[in-house]
Structure 1
């Protein structure tokens, strides 16, 4: 019993541990923070499957439509304020909608409650116009021709609608 291994040699997803992380007893190294739960995205995805799927918020189809319209127009979009339990279903619905309506694949990236959506082929269609608009905005700012406004760009969608 005393010789039985207490520490697993691999993570939940099967990777071999590079270094042990401290928990209740504190950090094992001055360069590491204690951890009380898995932080590996693959391990967390495995754990997610153990829980019941969250109820899909009624805003998901509406937000997905708004994002699709922005991606169609600009080649990219961002969604701000997405609740964590709705991220997976929203990302899946956005990618599916873009694929169904354009035949192109898209990518979604998450940073906290922000979802970035990009579609390379649609973005390439608007690249020249976007570069021209960016150059004009820089010129206006540098020369003081036009005051810079703080209006939210049309490629930004807010989960809450504000």
Structure 2
């Protein structure tokens, strides 16, 4: 059963990474277009800035969940690393439980935010629901919570990038 759960979390991780990468590429395309229309055409397009903000929300909440799974997020572990091994395990457990609380908050209150704003529209995109733009918050919360449950139940996932002795091949 643990193997199936790990495999499901691997697939969820890759989906989060894919969504985050697509959002990043789209942001990288939209911003230069905004600059081009403003300075080269002397007629700024109204949609690129709003689009970049919406894509940043996707990148932030979905991408952050993926980053958390493999500890590639920003963290402060200096003092925790100085603890004896047993206390380090306890500190990690407390950290995971606190992060689970944050993930639950994102899921519950993010879903409430989506619900409350579902029938509002964005001025730059009148056919787009504001609630849709907030969907990455509860989705990211669920993904994060699942990654935390994975870590608590079956341990930290193996690093997807195999590390060797630090030497780079000259191929």
TM-score band by shorter chain is under 0.3
Structure number, greater radius of gyration: 1
- How high is the TM-score relative to the length of structure 1? 0.22
Instruction: Give 1 or 2: higher strand fraction.
Output: 1
Structure-2-length-normalised TM-score: 0.21
User: Going by fraction, where is helix more abundant, 1 or 2?
Assistant: 2
